Amino acid sequence: MNDQSRIKNIAVALDIGTTKVCAIAGHVNEYGKLEIVGLGVVRSEGVSRGVVSNIDKTVKAIREAIEIAEKNAKCKFKEVHVGIAGQHIKSLHHHGLLVRHDSNSEISQSDIDKLIKDMHQLVLPPGDKILHVVPQEYTVDDEQDIIDPIGMSGVRLEANFHIITGQISASRNILRCVEKAGLKVAEVTLEPIASATSVLSDDEREAGIALVDIGGGTTDISIFKDGIIRHTCVIPFGGNVITKDIREGCTVMNEQAEKLKVKFGSALADEIVDNRIITIPGFKGRDHKEISEKNLALIIQARVEEIFDYVLWEIRRSGYEGKLLAGLVLTGGGSLVKYMDLLAEYHTGLPTRVGHPVEHLAHGYSSQLASPVYATAIGLLKHTIDNIGDKTSYVEDLPSIASVSTGRTKVDNDAPIEQEVFDVPSDPTEGKTEPKEPKKGIFGKLFTLTKDFFETVPDSEF
């Protein structure tokens, strides 16, 4: 593939989350798989629970992430496909009807487009706007449960729609941040839909599945049945709330609480056998603090069980309780907590797995990209290519960037990718090494080891 053709086919997606801003660029190869050519990840400080709370900090993070991804991709980004989430996201169902005057002609895509356009005329609460209108099933005259009516004949065309809404101010703030960073927005997509694109199989969507994306500020839920999205919602709890519980329950600093969650955290207290004592350095001139691993797990488990209570309530509210044959799929940074999938299975009674966004990636992808943390970003990129394709030009060549070669690591055979600003474990067990066996005095040696850990371990992303 020559440079001009490569530039033309590259798409760009931007995931603006509570804990990170991720810019990702890639294209589909001849085998239909995603090749990632640019990736930039920086810490997010201007977003709270999925909603922009500080414009300047968010713009700064977007610029930094874009610059890193541009260096890797060796091109300049012009347009991006952006994800939107947050606790303001709501969903509803509505019924549409279209009476066709020519009963002899076949139903066409234009008829369906008219029905969808009518849905955009719905009266919503002040400040809300429609983000997505998803057809469920159609009825042609008296024939019900039709998945695709195109080509059929009939007078009355009816359809049930799943409508996803969000606050106008929230989407405008995201658009404003992207534009201030010097980019255009090609399209906005709900992040739970994007995550589902990257981690769910067609068989799971058909059988019935609930995707639970546990992010830093929110937990996104999307329910699929018969291959169609049936229900979406956002729970205002995520990994940051677990960190806050640890901070208050163990009376430690926020940074220490985050590192405790990443290094020693477990979502299932009953699985803690040896119950090690974790020693945290005290403030200057003060004694160190000791916390048992089991107590830490009990704090985490209590909050995670509350999150799954909300998940169960949303499944019941959707009307698909008992119909999700494929169970649950967990993704997002929060799913990396040890035994998170096991607790979900115990608490909900549904078979559960952790979703890694590798199904659509080309061979030779970085192990870091396989982390559930990147499920939304990769899903946004896949959704962009599938739904927009080459209808817009996302990038342009920039030779000056192509010459930059500092600090890169290989992601695939053709695409050198610059190392991200902070590291994320590629799987749930990475970075959770057992502490060394003490040789002289258990508490004295363990204090030294733990102190070294808190001074050297990088911050978590979830």
pLDDT digits (tens, 9 = 90+) for 263-301: 999 999 998 888 889 888 877 777 888 899 999 999 999
Cβ–Cβ under 8 Å, residues 417 and 40: no
CATH topology of domain 90-167: Dna Ligase; domain 1 (3.30.1490)
User: What are the residues facing 225 on neighbouring strands?
Assistant: 228
**Sequence spans of domains, the chain:** 90-167, 202-356+432-462
pLDDT bin (cut points 50, 70, 90) of residue 87 is confident
Mean local confidence (pLDDT), 422-435: 42
pLDDT digits (tens, 9 = 90+) for 361-394: 988 888 889 999 999 999 999 988 887 765 567 7
Angle between helices 293-318 and 239-250 (to 10 degrees): 140
Regarding predicted confidence, which is higher, 59 or 287?
59
**Neighbouring residues of 455: CB distance < 8 A, sequence distance ≥ 6:** none
What is the pLDDT at residue 51? 87
In angstroms, what is the C-alpha Rg of the chain?
A: 24
90-167 and 202-356+432-462, same CATH topology: no
Q: How far is the C-alpha of 223 from the C-alpha of 320, rounded, in Å?
A: 8
Mean local confidence (pLDDT), 415-443: 42
Q: Any idea which architecture 202-356+432-462 has in CATH?
A: 2-Layer Sandwich (3.30)
Mean local confidence (pLDDT), 412-419: 40
Report field, pTM of the whole predicted structure over 0.75 = yes
Nearest alpha carbon to residue 15 among 70, 78, 62: 62
Q: What's the mean pLDDT when you consider all of the chain?
A: 83
Q: Give the position of tokens 């990718």.
A: 417
